[in-house]
Amino acid sequence: MKPNALISVYDKTGIVEFARELVALGWNIISSGGTAKVLREADIEVRDVAELVGGGAILGHRVVTLSREVHAGLLARYNVPEDVTEMEKLGIPYLDLVCVDLYPLEVEIAKPNATRDSVIEKTDIGGPTMLSSAAKGRRIVICDSVDRSRVVSWLELRKPNEADFITELCAKADGMVAGYRLASARCHSQGAIDGMVGTRVAACKYGENAWQTPAGLYSTGSSDPLALDKFELVQGVPLSYVNWCDVDRMLLTMTHALAATATNSGSIPCFAVGVKHGNPCGCALGESCYIPGSIKATYAQTLRKMVTGDLRAIFGGFVMTNFPLDEASAETLLTHAMPKGQRRLLDGIVAPEFTDGAKEMLKRKGDKCRLLANPALTEISDLSLDRATRLRYVRGGFLSQPNYTFVPRINSLTKLGDWNCDKADDVLLAWAIGSTSNSNTVTLVKDRMLIGNGVGQQDRVGAAKLALQRAHDAEHDVHGAVAYSDSFFPFPDGPKILAEAGVKLIMASSGSVKDKEVQAACAKHGVTFLLVPDSEGRGFFGH
């Protein structure tokens, strides 16, 4: 007896070819509605679902496959004699394969003009229900078009490792249904119900510590070209949990920096950032990526500035650029400002692409330098900020907040003192670094490069002192530098310390009861003070 496949898909792309392959393998095809029409027009013999359920679609096509016959065909057990006998008595065939996709609910939800009624109309009921029944019935269940060719190949090989393969497909179907139902609940509850469903796309040897196992990177299926699952490991051992955290943080810093420059000047400069334990220890803006001429010289200059931000901290760090890396770039990363004959060790590098020569040069013993590529890094603009809701686990639940999407506009900031427009890029870079570093943070930038990042301090004076210490340790001249504080200074002592070290411009928020005293201290030392209200522009991150 031929096995039966029920096919019902919203997106008809490739479905004719898949059905033909099943027919060639000896399968019967059962379908209805638009899918059946497409298959028949391709001269594929199709049995209508109506023959099983005693009638066609009803209630404006709201009810098609929601019938006891369909779900009996999916849930009846093959190895239970009572089920086999009852199915024969009822004349209901077993359904051995289900290929279903779902109405694009999240697309509808995301529309600016979406309404409760429009979302309800795009909410699939039959599809998720069939997937759930097929998963419980241990059928061959296909909810993702990428699995069609896998299933055909598996059938052609006579079902190797059948139990494991079926389990994988069923789990995927359950996960898709869970995500679909969650999207509906989130929408209709207006956020009172929330959560996350993901699929593991990369396993990690362990988490932050060796005893934290298992660990891995999960994808929510986002279409975002900068989602971490879109980055390809082109060389080196798999990334660790900490590595993935570093990639995410570098991406946050890069998108903020480039969004700021694009918003304020309309340009997208070359950009490079290096992090250690998530916080930038080297960061630099080069010239515009789109200015013709000696662009490779700009790449090299940007990389030199980035690595010399903190030569001590960048050793063993992770680097990201928005420009491709060739042999000359690799040479700069490995040897610039290093003692003759020594190479800088890096844990990983992320770039749009790498030449073969660069890959060879960047290899480390044991393949410990991971190279990740994503061409979308060249397309980062003011539209690239991550706007998805951020969730964070806490004991017994999770916290939720909107993402980090504030971008300052220099022209709208309150300026106290002499304003030099030439400092705009330094201000924006300092802001991007400081607002994506663990609070409390004070960040120092000079000549479009990071020279000191004082992160994770309990008080703002401590953050200022740490930023200055790191700059001095790296032998940078602080005179004329720009400082950014991720919140207001509660007392004049922080700005006083920065001013006495040679800082000439400070960006911070306002909101302290001692704002006037802080501003007076800046004026006394000849420091320009750029202000944004704390309620609008505070840059806390990573608590």
Between the CA of residue 323 and those of 232, 254, 316, 319, 340, what are the distances in Å? Answer: 16, 12, 21, 12, 27
pLDDT band at 296 (very low <50, low <70, confident <90, very high): confident
CA distance 480 to 483: 10
Q: Which pLDDT value is given to residue 1?
A: 81
Show Cβ contacts of residue 435 under 8 Å, excluding neighbours closer than 6 positions. Answer: 256, 404, 406, 441, 484, 486, 539, 541
pLDDT tens-digit map of 509-520:
999 999 999 999
Between the CA of residue 370 and those of 300, 320, 327, what are the distances in Å? Answer: 21, 12, 16
Residue 357 host element (H or E): helix 356-362
**pLDDT surpassing 70 at residue 293:** no
Q: Residue 35's closest CA among 59, 64, 15, 55?
A: 15
pLDDT tens-digit map of 211-234:
999 999 999 999 999 999 999 999
Please state the rounded mean pLDDT for residues 405-418. Answer: 95
Instruction: Please tell me the least confidently modeled range out of 56-65, 198-207, 327-336, 460-469.
Output: 56-65
Show Cβ contacts of residue 482 under 8 Å, excluding neighbours closer than 6 positions. Answer: 423, 426, 427, 430, 444, 445, 446, 503, 504, 505, 506, 507
Q: Which pLDDT value is given to residue 57?
A: 66
pTM: 0.91
User: What is the 8-class DSSP label of residue 439?
Assistant: S
- In DSSP terms, which residues pair with 408 in a beta bridge? none
* Other beta carbons less than 10 A from residue 240's beta carbon: 18
State phi, psi for 250 to the nearest 5 degrees: -60, -40
Show Cβ contacts of residue 445 under 8 Å, excluding neighbours closer than 6 positions. Answer: 426, 427, 429, 430, 433, 451, 481, 482, 483, 484
Q: Which pLDDT value is given to residue 52?
A: 79
Q: Which pLDDT value is given to residue 60?
A: 66
Three-class HEC string of 297-323: HHHHHHHHHHHCCCHHHHCCCEEEECC
Place of tokens 């070819």: 17
Please state the rounded mean pLDDT for residues 176-193. Answer: 95
CA distance 28 to 44: 10
CA distance 250 to 238: 18
- Cβ atoms of 271 and 258 closer than 8 Å: yes
In single-letter form, the type of residue at position 192 comes to: A
CA distance 442 to 506: 10
pLDDT tens-digit map of 345-385:
999 999 999 999 999 999 999 899 999 999 999 999 999 99
Q: Which pLDDT value is given to residue 63?
A: 67
Q: Vertex 322, ends 320 and 328: CA angle to 5°?
A: 80
Show Cβ contacts of residue 397 under 8 Å, excluding neighbours closer than 6 positions. Answer: none
CA distance 46 to 35: 10
pLDDT tens-digit map of 235-257:
999 999 999 999 999 999 999 99
- Cβ atoms of 6 and 93 closer than 8 Å: no
Please state the rounded mean pLDDT for residues 449-478. Answer: 97
Q: Residue 251's closest CA among 227, 285, 233?
A: 227
Query: In order of start, what are the domains of the chain with their CATH numbers?
Result: 4-188 (3.40.50.1380), 233-379 (3.40.140.20), 406-537 (3.40.140.20)
pLDDT band at 291 (very low <50, low <70, confident <90, very high): low
Pairing of strands 318-321, 269-276: antiparallel
Cis preceding linkage at 160, omega within 30: no
282 SS3 class: strand
Radius of gyration of the chain (CA): 29
Pairing of strands 4-8, 97-100: parallel
Q: Give the count of alpha carbons within 13 A of 303, CB side only.
A: 29
pLDDT tens-digit map of 18-48:
999 999 999 999 998 889 999 999 999 999 8
- Cβ atoms of 259 and 381 closer than 8 Å: yes
Q: Give the count of alpha carbons within 13 A of 188, CB side only.
A: 13
